[in-house]
């Protein structure tokens, strides 16, 4: 006696049985190589967030995993750039960047920090992924130890090396800022070549400017006092 035929499983049933991973997947990046790398990443993040403090349409972070599997599986395709910026997105904290939960967006800018153990990957495999899969317009790498800085911009689907200025600065079209080495650190500069500063640096600059103005005023006052005395006038009797 024949057995009854098994019920055919429909595509709809299969799709409904699949449990896709949540959008708040935790980052899964290894520890940073050195204090130099950690400090440089923190510096870049703080700088861009302070520079764009009035904007709500970007996400900037570092050493955070980007999950980009076409099958929406966190175990298949992922990378963790040292620093990246995504434009035209919501400014909020995230546990990781999950492409399929972010309208398919990839970073507009990526900066990798080179080390002896990662340089070949950053210059080879990662560069290919950022060019061919991420389609990230601006890609830079920087070595915190020997201060090597190089950048690329996508032209007609391929990375073209950026030509530095006479001072060795590289222009990021996506950020609208220059990247350059300043006092041993990778920093951002405005189109008119002004250093993008941290809030404490701005405060120190304002304090220095105030002190300079006070010193100039004291010098002018001293000169006036001497001239009055030379003319036989007692400055104390004027006021």
Distance, in Å, from the CA atom of 176 to the CA atom of 156, rounded to the nearest integer, reads: 20
R_g of the chain computed on alpha carbons: 28
Question: Which range (4-18, 83-97, 201-215, 218-232) has the least confidence?
Answer: 4-18
- The yes-or-no verdict on residue 221 having pLDDT over 60 is yes
Average pLDDT of the segment spanning 82-95? 97
Judged by DSSP in three states, 174 sits in coil
- Cβ proximity of 150 and 140 under 8 Å: yes
Query: Is the whole model's pTM more than 0.75, yes or no?
Result: yes
User: Model confidence over 139-160: pLDDT tens digits?
Assistant: 999 999 999 999 999 999 999 9
């Amino acid at each position: 006696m024949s057995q009854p035929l098994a019920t055919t499983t429909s595509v709809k049933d299969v799709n409904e049985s699949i449990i896709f991973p949540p959008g708040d997947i935790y980052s899964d990046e290894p520890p940073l190589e050195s204090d130099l790398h950690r400090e440089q990443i923190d510096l870049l993040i703080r700088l861009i967030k302070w520079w764009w403090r009035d904007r709500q349409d970007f996400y900037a972070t570092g050493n955070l995993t980007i999950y980009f599997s076409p099958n929406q599986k966190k175990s298949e395709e992922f990378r963790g750039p040292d620093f990246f910026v995504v434009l035209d997105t919501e400014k909020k904290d995230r546990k990781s960047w999950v492409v399929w939960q972010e309208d398919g967006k990839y970073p507009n800018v990526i900066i990798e920090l080179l080390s002896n153990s990662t340089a070949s990957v950053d210059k080879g495999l990662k560069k290919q992924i950022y060019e061919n899969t991420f389609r990230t317009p601006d890609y830079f790498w920087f070595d915190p130890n020997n201060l090597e800085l190089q950048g690329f911009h996508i032209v007609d689907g391929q990375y073209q090396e950026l030509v530095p200025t006479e001072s060795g600065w590289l222009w990021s079209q996506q950020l609208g800022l220059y990247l350059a080495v300043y006092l041993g650190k990778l920093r951002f500069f405005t189109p008119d070549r002004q250093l993008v500063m941290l809030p404490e640096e701005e405060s120190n600059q304002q304090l220095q400017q105030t002190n300079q103005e006070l010193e100039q005023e004291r010098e002018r006052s001293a000169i006036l006092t001497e001239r009055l005395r030379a003319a036989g006038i007692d400055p104390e009797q004027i006021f």
